[in-house]
Amino acid sequence: MATTIEPRTTTTRVVDAKQGSVLLRDSQQNVRDAAETLEIGRSLFNLLDQPEREITVTLPVELDDGRVEAFTGYRVQHSRVLGPGKGGMRFHPDSDLDEVRGLAALMTWKCALLDLPFGGAKGGVVCDPSVLSTGELARITRAFANALTPMIGSREDVPAPDVNTDERMMAWFLDEYERRTGKHDPSVVTGKPIALGGIPGRGESTGRGVALITVAMLERQWIKPRNARVVIQGFGKVGSEAAKRLHELGVKVIGISDVSGGLYNPDGLDIPRIAQSIQCQPPKLLREYGGEDAQRISGEEMLSLECDVLIPAALEGVITAETAPQINAKIIVEGANGPTTAEGDRILDERGILVAPDILANAGGVVVSYFEWLQGLQGNRWTLDSVRTQLDARMRDAFEAVVSESERRKISLRQAAYVIAVERVARAVSLRWSPM
Ligand code: GLU
């Protein structure tokens, strides 16, 4: 039977599609500010600002009903000056080239800040996983791996999970890449299942790092973690792991939310119980939680809850000129990439609310991706204990470096993080491209 290629029907735009451009604009502004602080000249700045390579691919994929749909995929390699490109790939209906550009740049600065031998890259496929079957997701992932094969590799560009992508998809991605190249190269992708060369602790790593930075920020403000109240927006891979870790450390998580709504208990939520209960009820949303020990609140109410720390751990562009004035927290720890717009950031600053920036706070994932990449290249095995110990040490070192840079220059933590990262990349660029 002949198949027909039809326009995309499975995707819906649910939020402002310009979000990606805002993220790109803001990340470029942060680099511009850092370049000014570091007195970097225009031509060097242009090299830091412009992405090295951008790839847009069309992925014809057969759906379960026999139609063939053309999905669009992007991979932006922002910089490979310090090492192979590194960064996740997201599957989202609102993904667009500007968003992927902005996120790729964030990866460059994140890897540089954590002193990892990686550049920055990011991928996105415009699709809505909530309406796709497992088979359809597998075919899209394989088509994407196929299209990217000539431009990726353990020494070129190393994808990983991000929003709506997980270790199953990394397994399909690896398999397709290795079929195409005919070579075994497990370090072409990180966030793989352990049986395929993944590393213990990768799943919890971003959330664990967010929790560590949260505690470090509290201590810096002389707030005892045991007396602190934390609110987390987003209960996916990052938010739920951060919540579990904070709970384990004795910090009260009083509010959590996801796309289905929020749960609130001023005395602290029973996070392990909630996580376990929704785990057994796909699609694993908080509205499925039947416990009597939590009040139901809306996502908007969540953002304005009175608390010590607010952790936005979902998507970009949540703390804006409109929402920042309502925030009732002393500290923001950015679990998501780009959750605060430049206007939102300005308002938080005026209101004296401290922000631990994304490139520091959520770097735990890529740090453990680095361990996984090393493990694959060396052909050895890491233990969960050594992953955790080395992750914590790297996060703590980066936190200390950012805090002291911010104190030394009297700038915000975000500006300090960018100054450290931009300086490292700029030094490498000028050494590589200085005239003979
Ligand atoms: N997607 C994660 C991030 O935004 C991890 C990227 C990676 O491990 O390469 O940092």
Would you list the domain boundaries of the chain?
Answer: 1-44, 51-184, 204-361
The percentage of residues in the chain with a pLDDT greater than 70, rounded to a whole number, is 96
Torsion sign (Cα): 76, 193, 368, 155: negative
Q: Is 170's C-beta closer than 6 angstroms to any atom of ligand 1?
A: no
Topology alike, domains 51-184 and 204-361: yes
Atom of ligand 1 minimally distant from the CA of 86: 9
The mean per-residue pLDDT over the stretch 137-148 comes to 98
Query: Of 66-70, 296-300, 403-407, which gets the smallest average pLDDT?
Result: 296-300
Atom of ligand 1 minimally distant from the CA of 90: 1
Distance (Å, rounded) from C-alpha 264 to C-alpha 114?
34
Q: Is 284 a catalytic residue?
A: no
Q: Structure tokens of 435? A: 């005239």
The mean per-residue pLDDT over the stretch 362-367 comes to 98
Q: Is 316's C-beta closer than 6 angstroms to any atom of ligand 1?
A: no
Q: Where residue 436 falls among pLDDT bands split at 50, 70, 90? A: low
Q: Where residue 299 falls among pLDDT bands split at 50, 70, 90? A: confident
Atom of ligand 1 minimally distant from the CA of 103: 4
pLDDT tens digits for range 230-280: 999 999 999 999 999 999 999 999 999 999 999 999 999 999 999 999 888
**Span from the CA of 21 to the centroid of ligand 1 (angstroms):** 20
Q: Is the CB of residue 95 less than 8 Å from the CB of residue 60?
A: no
Pocket test for ligand 1, best of 108, 206, 210, 334 (most atoms within 8 A of CB): 206
The mean per-residue pLDDT over the stretch 390-412 comes to 98
**Span from the CA of 191 to the centroid of ligand 1 (angstroms):** 9
Share the mean pLDDT of the chain.
94
Q: Is 364's C-beta closer than 6 angstroms to any atom of ligand 1?
A: no
The mean per-residue pLDDT over the stretch 289-294 comes to 90
pLDDT at 14 over 70: no
Sort residue 368 into left (φ over 0), alpha (ψ -120 to 50) or beta: alpha
pLDDT at 4 over 60: no
Atom of ligand 1 minimally distant from the CA of 370: 8
- CATH number assigned to the domain with residue range 204-361, chosen from the 4 options 3.40.50.720, 3.40.50.300, 3.30.470.20, 3.20.20.70: 3.40.50.720
Pocket test for ligand 1, best of 78, 122, 162 (most atoms within 8 A of CB): 162
Distance (Å, rounded) from C-alpha 417 to C-alpha 356?
9
pLDDT score of 422: 98
pLDDT score of 18: 73
Distances (CA, A) of 95 to 76, 239, 244, 337: 13, 21, 29, 13
Q: Is 90's C-beta closer than 6 angstroms to any atom of ligand 1?
A: no
Atom of ligand 1 minimally distant from the CA of 362: 10
pLDDT score of 90: 97
- CATH number assigned to the domain with residue range 51-184, chosen from the 4 options 3.40.1190.20, 3.90.1010.10, 2.20.25.240, 3.40.50.10860: 3.40.50.10860
Smallest CA-to-CA distance from 116 within 382, 363, 389 is with 363
Q: Where residue 300 falls among pLDDT bands split at 50, 70, 90? A: confident
**Span from the CA of 108 to the centroid of ligand 1 (angstroms):** 11
pLDDT score of 153: 98
pLDDT at 11 over 70: no
pLDDT score of 165: 97
Q: Structure tokens of 166? A: 């997980």
pLDDT tens digits for range 162-181: 999 999 999 999 999 999 99
Instruction: Report the Cα 340 to chain-centroid distance in Å.
Output: 13
Q: Is 372's C-beta closer than 6 angstroms to any atom of ligand 1?
A: no
Distance (Å, rounded) from C-alpha 362 to C-alpha 208?
9
Distance (Å, rounded) from C-alpha 164 to C-alpha 129?
7
* Catalytic position from the list 122, 192, 244, 252: 122
pLDDT at 142 over 90: yes
Q: Is the CB of residue 83 less than 8 Å from the CB of residue 118?
A: yes
pLDDT score of 173: 98
pLDDT at 1 over 70: no
pLDDT score of 13: 33
Q: Is 369's C-beta closer than 6 angstroms to any atom of ligand 1?
A: yes
The mean per-residue pLDDT over the stretch 381-385 comes to 98
Q: Is 262's C-beta closer than 6 angstroms to any atom of ligand 1?
A: no
Q: Is the CB of residue 329 less than 8 Å from the CB of residue 355?
A: no
Sequence-ordered list of residues with C-beta below 8 angstroms from that of 239, at least 6 positions apart, any chain = 207, 232, 233, 256, 258, 311, 313, 314, 335
pLDDT score of 280: 82
Q: Is 190's C-beta closer than 6 angstroms to any atom of ligand 1?
A: yes
